[in-house]
Amino acid sequence: MRRAICGTLLLWAALAALLAWRFAGKATDDIYVTYRYAWNLAHGLGFTFNPGERVFGLTDPGVGLLLALAHRLTGLPLPLLGTVFSALALFGIAALLLGESAERVRLPEGIAGGTLLLLSGYLWTAQGSGPLFVLLFLLAAARLAGRSDLASGLLAGLAFWFRPDAAVGLALLGLLLLGERRRLPWVWASTASAVVLAGCAAAWAAFGTLLPNTLAAKQAYAAFEPAERRGVAFWRDAWAYWRGFEGPWAAALLALGLLGLLALVLRGGRAGRLLALDGLALALAYTLLRVPFFLWYTVPAAAALLVGAPWAVGAAARALGARPSLRSLRRLAAAVAIAGGLLLAPALWGTWRWFAGGASGDWRLAAYSQAGEWIRDHSTPSDDVALEEIGILGYTSRRPVSDLMGLVTPRAVPYAAQGDLIGAFLAKPTEFLIFHTFTWRGGTKPIITRPWFPAAYAEAARFDLPQQGGSITIYRRRPGAKIPPPRPPRAHRPEPVSAAPG
């Protein structure tokens, strides 16, 4: 067994290194918000998005602090560091579950589950985000509890620093320990509580608030298309991503994963049970909060499904092989196990397609990077820019950003809550405005199609990206241009769309 574990860990290390090399820095736009906070902190500009503005606009402050420290010490690019740390987190999660599976005499399930975790394009697309680190800390805390409650409580508390919704997993771990011991583990609870309170105090000192304003901003974002982004639509979008990454038999993998959650809860160890329960609890919580779909909301649930699927196959195979009346069907049990493995194999097909494509399907990194670098090279440090997706452009431009969704610009939140993009812009018109043709709305189309816009802004640069299927345009304010004054928020309503200028 020890040889099997060591061989598996070596293979996983090689796979993690290969995937990290292939997808270095290819994070989604929102993760670059964290990267910009980290860059500003590492370069002496404070833990801010826009230097001088005290806004708690990142959901993963622990990630930002870790990356800022690593960047300061090594000088390596922050997007690269985000990929490396994410690879280490995925490897650590798989290794922790592998060790526990071996202890539960479920080594094949541990090997298969960990392999699916490490090869999941769905999870790798969330590189740089807090949930990967939260899962690592919570599962490590679950494994350490009983051996060292002090270390376990420290890790559980730190998970909250990396993402506030870790409080759900922290509470579940406390309940699991309470159920096992029939008493509250005071050393664990007091240590975890102290670390959480220290994080809250640090957030209050840095931002004047305990929790990030990201949840309010995401809920406001849904106002633009409420029927398409909330409730059932949340999981419709998640399913589209899951199916795209996990292959043609994604539905079978999903069904096996759901069945496997029961097997994890009944037969798994403390870490496996925590993974299953945390995934289910967060899936329910984000549904009830009626937020629009964003990948990282579903990372704990997706990880639990990927780990659970082999447990469902293993439970079926073991049940067939263990029954005395079915001893003659041991070959059938083996066939079930093999068939289950083949059923999981299409997930690797999805991973290979994603790997071969090199994450080229996301236009944002290419488009916003070019636009941000152009603005950085053709503007002064005080020139600001407005758009609705601020991460990559903000990180590459190094210029003040007016976030029309309100994530790092609180004045825009009342407008975003009404779906009023025009009002959010008029509250403080900027030197630059970004428009693109990669989606039907183009981000700022409601603004650039206003009658006053052509007289107020001129096209400064445009980048065509035929491989990604669109273009991105930078508009610059004309000297002395007249723009309508600020006004109160107005409820969004569908309007006829005219051709974009230029």
Q: Is the pTM of this model over 0.85?
A: yes
**270-284, pLDDT tens digit by residue?**
999 999 999 999 999
Residue 100, in any domain of the structure = yes
Task: Kindly report the average pLDDT of the chain as a whole number.
Answer: 87
41 lies in which domain range?
Answer: 2-357
Q: How much is the average pLDDT of 129-155?
A: 96
Neighbour-count burial for 349-385, b at 16+ CB within 10 Å, e otherwise: ebbeebbeeebeebbbbbbbbbbbebbeeebeeebbb
Q: Is the pLDDT of residue 242 over 90?
A: no
- The tokens describing 392, both together, are 């990559």
In this prediction, residue 331 carries a pLDDT of 54
Q: Are the beta carbons of 104 and 269 closer than 8 angstroms?
A: yes
Residue 78, in any domain of the structure = yes
Does 29 or 288 have the greater pLDDT score?
Answer: 29
**463-500, pLDDT tens digit by residue?**
999 888 899 999 999 999 999 999 999 876 544 444 44
- The tokens describing 264, both together, are 């994890």
Q: Is the pLDDT of residue 375 over 90?
A: yes
Confidence class for position 75, pLDDT limits 50, 70, 90: very high
For residues 376 and 338, membership in a common domain is answered with no
Confidence class for position 216, pLDDT limits 50, 70, 90: low
Confidence class for position 460, pLDDT limits 50, 70, 90: very high
Question: Which ranges constitute the DSSP H helices of 145-185?
Answer: 149-162, 166-181
Among residues 231, 253, 229, the alpha carbon closest in space to that of 242 is found at 253
For residues 153 and 11, membership in a common domain is answered with yes
Whole-angstrom CA distances from 373 to 103, 157, 369, 379 are: 52, 39, 6, 10
In this prediction, residue 314 carries a pLDDT of 84
Residue after which a domain boundary falls, among 357, 382, 405: 357
Residues 6+ apart with CB under 8 A from 391: 28, 29, 30, 31, 32, 33, 35, 36, 368
Residue 308, in any domain of the structure = yes
In this prediction, residue 498 carries a pLDDT of 40
Q: Is the pLDDT of residue 172 over 70?
A: yes
For residues 222 and 322, membership in a common domain is answered with yes
For residues 307 and 378, membership in a common domain is answered with no
What's 55-74 look like in SS3?
A: CCCCCCHHHHHHHHHHHHHH
Among 74-83, 202-211, 430-439, the range scoring the smallest mean pLDDT is 202-211
60 Cα distance to chain centroid: 9
Q: Is the pLDDT of residue 64 over 70?
A: yes
For residues 434 and 411, membership in a common domain is answered with yes
Residue 490, in any domain of the structure = no
Among residues 444, 424, 426, the alpha carbon closest in space to that of 434 is found at 444
For residues 195 and 127, membership in a common domain is answered with yes
For residues 437 and 458, membership in a common domain is answered with yes
Q: What is the bridge-based pairing of β-strands 457-465 and 401-403?
A: unpaired
For residues 349 and 471, membership in a common domain is answered with no
Q: What is the bridge-based pairing of β-strands 432-436 and 385-387?
A: parallel
For residues 275 and 351, membership in a common domain is answered with yes
Say how many domains are in the chain.
Answer: 2
Residue 384, in any domain of the structure = yes
Residue 440, in any domain of the structure = yes
For residues 140 and 172, membership in a common domain is answered with yes
Does 91 or 290 have the greater pLDDT score?
Answer: 91
Roughly what angle, to the nearest 10 degrees, separates helices 130-144 and 149-162? Answer: 170
Among 50-54, 313-317, 328-332, 354-358, the range scoring the smallest mean pLDDT is 328-332
459 DSSP β-pair partners = 475
DSSP string spanning 358-422? TTTT-HHHHHHHHHHHHHHHTS-TT--EEES--HHHHHHH-S-EEETTSSS-GGGHHHHHTT-HH
